[in-house]
Amino acid sequence: MAALVESTLVEGKVRVAGVSVNVLAAWALIFGHLGSHPHGVLGSAWGQNIGLSVETSVLIACVLVPTIRRTFNVLDWPLRLEQMKTLLRIGMASGVQLITEVLAWTLFGLWVMGLFGTQAMAANTFMYRYMIVSFMPAFGLSVAVTALVGRYIGAGRPDIAARRARLAFIVAAIYMMVCGLFFFLGRNLLIGLFTNDPQIRHTGGILLTFAAVYQFFDALYIIYNGGLRGAGDTLVPAVATAGLCWGITVGGGYLVARFVPGLGPAGPWVVATLYGIILGLFMYVRFQRGGWRNIRLGSAQQFSNVTGDSDRVMNS
């Protein structure tokens, strides 16, 4: 476990280094510092490319360190068809879920909110920046829940898996609800950090109120969706997420914006908040019903040659 924690800390440091390089490169290339000509938006893109390249190169170097290479079987690369089939069967649904959800929210921001003009789109964009601060740490917890649920199910302890998911939800919910409180109480001030336009500030304040309501249910969705993924229960959550997001957020949001324009930019967000409530409760109920406890992804023997020494690391 110590080796796993250490590797996680190393990854965090590398990501901070990558972001730092990104900031420095973008500053130089956008504004023309450090001997560079000013490139504007193009410089921003190249700054991100440089930062990601540095981050990826350092991560590759880290995983090739002899101790890490031996501990986690980094060079154990031969293809195993049965494990690959399981990976694709479980992983494809999660990947499609992520793509469809990101695309749906992008269309919501550009197409649905775009019906109210550029000021509403700007307010929605600024509000998103604050929502990222609230849900990204929760996504980090969700990744941990995915790993822990899978681990404890493999160890034959689904009871511990459920307790870890519940603990992660409590932590995520407290953090996100505190964020929601700041969103509500400081809504006008927070949007004012981006713009002095009174209309954008007014609209952004309204949207931050919806974001505040959204937080608790978003924590339900993020954490328990991660728990279901760890158990291999990915298809139904993916279908539910895609159906609800496109049907309610995009479709319902457009209908409200198109046929009840008097509600203004708040109208689509009433529908989007309803989506968040339904989806969060769905993931919670599905996890609590416990059907994931009976999923079997493969025998211990099937995966024994893959895990190798990493089992000893996790159990130490």
pLDDT in tens, 260-275: 999 999 999 999 999 9
At residue 315, the 3 state secondary structure works out as helix
Alpha-carbon distance 221 to 114, whole Å? 27
pLDDT band of residue 21 (cuts 50, 70, 90) is very high
| Model confidence band, residue 310 (pLDDT cutoffs 50, 70, 90) | very low
Out of 1-5, 53-57, 165-169, least confident range: 1-5
Query: Can you tell me which residue has the tokens 């990915």?
Result: 234
Residue 290, phi-psi category: left (phi > 0), alpha (psi -120 to 50), beta (remainder):
left
Q: Find out whether 249 and 106 touch, Cβ atoms under 8 Å.
A: no
8-30 mean pLDDT = 86
pLDDT score of 34 more than 70: yes
Between residues 178 and 14, the one the model is more confident about: 178
State the Cα–Cα distance between residues 7 and 15, nearest whole angstrom. 12
Q: What is the mean pLDDT of residues 288-302?
A: 77
Above 90 in pLDDT, residue 200? Answer: yes
pLDDT of 228 strictly over 60: yes
Output 147 or 2, whichever has higher pLDDT: 147
Mean pLDDT of 51-58: 93
In this predicted structure, the answer to whether residue 312 has a pLDDT above a threshold of 50 is no
pLDDT of residue 38 exceeding 80? yes
Mean pLDDT of 211-223: 95
- In this model, does residue 286 exceed pLDDT 90? yes
Question: Dihedral, CA atoms, 144, 145, 150, 154, nearest 10 degrees?
Answer: 100
Q: Is the pLDDT of residue 20 over 80?
A: yes
Helical segments of the chain, H only: 2-31, 41-63, 66-71, 81-107, 118-154, 158-185, 187-192, 198-231, 235-244, 253-259, 266-289, 300-307, 310-315
CB count within 10 Å of CB 267 equals: 22
pLDDT at 99 over 90: yes
Q: Which residue has the tokens 């249910």?
A: 217
Res 314: pLDDT: 43
Mean pLDDT of 90-113: 93
Burial of 37 from C-beta contacts in 10 A (0-12 / 13-18 / 19+): exposed
Span 34-56, mean pLDDT?
A: 92
Distance CA(72)–CA(310), nearest Å, equals 5
What's the pLDDT score for residue 64? 87
pTM for the structure as a whole: 0.80
> Across all residues in the chain, what is the average pLDDT?
89
Report how many helices (DSSP H) and strands (DSSP E) the chain contains, helices first. Answer: 13, 0
Q: Please tell me the predicted confidence (pLDDT) of residue 316.
A: 43
